[in-house]
Structure 1
Amino acid sequence: MVAFYENKDKDLFIHYGNSLDFAPHLHNHIELIYMLEGETVTNVDGNKALLKKGEIFVSFPNQVHQYSSKGPEKYLIFIFSPDLFKEMKHIFQNYIPDNQVIKNAYKYPCLYSFLSSAAEVYESNHEFKDLQIKGYLLVFFAELLKIMKLKSIKTSNLSMLQNILVYCSENYAKDLSLDTISESLHVSKYYVSHLLKKKINIGFSDYINALRISEACGHLLSEDKSITEIAYLVGFNTIRTFNRAFIKQTELTPTDFRKKNLYGIKIQNKEF
């Protein structure tokens, strides 16, 4: 799995899920999970921690984070913009959690009560639902911050990493190279390579190929284009390079990937 940059177009998303297994990703939103059953391995900016039943995971804006499932799970997830909470925006901008997993959350039943109430209102259609959800989340964070340790962030590396990931996400279908990024972003290509390896543990070429393969999967499952057309469309110069990169990421050939989907076997490129 590889990291990708997400531009969230919704200010708030709430969902009960049962498969917490997502690639490393980065966005400007806060991501919050209450684990109801099972466990999963979380990784934030290279720091791994096990998230178990009754525990809370929190990722602040622009932290690279991922999940690796360890079996059947049930969880409640919130993804929301810090702009919704001007009262605490300075906290989300200037600090990050010292530990992404709050181990003793189960000792405070009110925390889940606030979250479950917000999730219930989220599914309703009444006139003041947004205001009510905001109220539940405000009191939730007021209580959570009493038990969660924070530390000041160094914004320079995060800002540059975000710029690099955004640039890659917008230009991966072109003839993209470290030299191109270096010239466009006015930063050393060696620093770009170092930052990607340090923060998301992947080389530049593998990262660009993964973005291209993710795009190719969408075309394979939704269109009638030939595999060769798709390969060139997403930025590969040869079909051989495309096939090799596709197998490396999905463990399937493009043809098998398409066939398995047509026969109803669940092959998903998960987005978060």
Structure 2
Amino acid sequence: MLIYEAQHFDLIRHFETTDLNFPSHLHRCFELVFVVDGEMEVIISQRCFHLKTGQFLLILPYEIHSVITNSQSRAKICIFSPDYVPTFQKMIEKSSLENPVFNLSLEAKTLISNVLFSVNSNLLDQKASLYLLVSELMRQTTLIKAQKEPELLHSILTYIQDHFTESISLNSMANTFGYSYHYLSKYFNVNVGTSFVDFLNETRINYACYLLSTTEKNMTEIAYLCGYENIRSFNRNFVKIKLCTPKEYRDTQISMFFDM
């Protein structure tokens, strides 16, 4: 089963791994992998790439990927939202990287590592470093048209991402993409590992969490902004997914902020 990782909006975070092995999964964020020591294999949309010490690799949003360490590896990973690099995100629509593995000069590597893998960097430095990173990457590779099946999955997930705040359904999506309802339902379940309705609700609730943490909008406003037509459906789905009420979630976020 394919794992869908629901990442928050307006997100950038980093972590370190040792001997990483991770099954096939996808998410709406970019994923930057930097091998500090050792070797690993990253499989992206059925293409295998071998990474050695000092090399970088960039995984695009919604690309199905997995990681294998056959011997030993130590790596740093930075996950960042497409919201941080909108110009680049627009460039890569319905495309893949011919070769996502790339190298950086010592100066660029030091700058990017100090910013993207540091807890003290500010937002402007982070965005500047990300654009420097993708600029260096595109000097070393080219864009190719995504394969048919990954392209359909990418198109479906991107469509949901662009329209989840509206009144959308699997039937309306089937009409949009020119497939039968039953085919698209089965395709979605097989490739994403969950139903369209559950995926849509998880996307909406994750956006609600972002709004609860970053704005002072009331619950009714947030429910509407997330695509729900009434507060009852919003509350029911929020509790089902997050195991707490929206108010409890906001109170927890406020408490965490003051404890910092």
TM-score by structure 1 length? 0.55
**Separation in structure 1 between the aligned mates of residue 36 and residue 133 of structure 2, nearest angstrom:** 20
Amino acid at match of 2:235: N
**Is the 8 Å Cα contact of residues 3 and 200 (structure 1) preserved in structure 2?**
no
Gaps of 5+ in 2: 68-73, 116-124
**Separation in structure 2 between the aligned mates of residue 225 and residue 135 of structure 1, nearest angstrom:** 37
Give 1:24's aligned residue.
26
**Separation in structure 2 between the aligned mates of residue 96 and residue 252 of structure 1, nearest angstrom:** 43
Distance 1:76 1:174, change over 3 A: closer
Give 1:264's aligned residue.
256
Q: 2:189 aligns with which of 189, 194, 197?
A: 197
Following superposition, the deviation at residue 206 of structure 1 comes to: 0.9
Following superposition, the deviation at residue 156 of structure 1 comes to: 1.2
**Separation in structure 1 between the aligned mates of residue 56 and residue 65 of structure 2, nearest angstrom:** 14
- Partner-residue secondary structure (3-state), 2:27: strand
Following superposition, the deviation at residue 118 of structure 1 comes to: 2.6
Give 1:118's aligned residue.
108
Distance 1:168 1:3, change over 3 A: farther
**Separation in structure 1 between the aligned mates of residue 160 and residue 26 of structure 2, nearest angstrom:** 15
Q: 2:232 aligns with which of 233, 240, 265?
A: 240
**Separation in structure 2 between the aligned mates of residue 83 and residue 175 of structure 1, nearest angstrom:** 24
**Is the 8 Å Cα contact of residues 45 and 63 (structure 1) preserved in structure 2?**
yes
**Is the 8 Å Cα contact of residues 45 and 64 (structure 1) preserved in structure 2?**
yes
Distance 1:46 1:196, change over 3 A: farther
Amino acid at match of 2:189: K
CA RMSD of aligned residues (A): 5.3
Q: Deviations over 1:221-261 (max 9, x none)?
A: 23332213321331223333222321333232211110011
Give 2:34's aligned residue.
34
Distance 1:260 1:138, change over 3 A: closer
**Separation in structure 1 between the aligned mates of residue 185 and residue 163 of structure 2, nearest angstrom:** 17
**Is the 8 Å Cα contact of residues 246 and 252 (structure 1) preserved in structure 2?**
yes
Gaps of 5+ in 1: 9-14, 68-72, 103-110, 143-151, 267-272
Give 2:120's aligned residue.
none
Give 1:105's aligned residue.
none
Give 1:75's aligned residue.
76
Distance 1:178 1:76, change over 3 A: closer
Q: How does 1:21-100 map to 2 (within 5 A)?
A: 24-26=26-28, 31-36=31-36, 59=59, 63-65=63-65, 75-77=76-78, 93=96
Amino acid at match of 2:27: H
TM-score by structure 2 length? 0.57
Amino acid at match of 2:163: N
Give 1:146's aligned residue.
none
Give 2:172's aligned residue.
180
- Partner-residue secondary structure (3-state), 1:256: helix
**Separation in structure 1 between the aligned mates of residue 170 and residue 204 of structure 2, nearest angstrom:** 16
Mapped pair 1:249 → 2:244: no
**Is the 8 Å Cα contact of residues 45 and 199 (structure 1) preserved in structure 2?**
no
Q: How many residues align?
A: 217
Q: Deviations over 1:167-193 (max 9, x none)?
A: 211221222111111112222222322
- Partner-residue secondary structure (3-state), 1:192: helix
Give 2:219's aligned residue.
227
Following superposition, the deviation at residue 194 of structure 1 comes to: 2.5
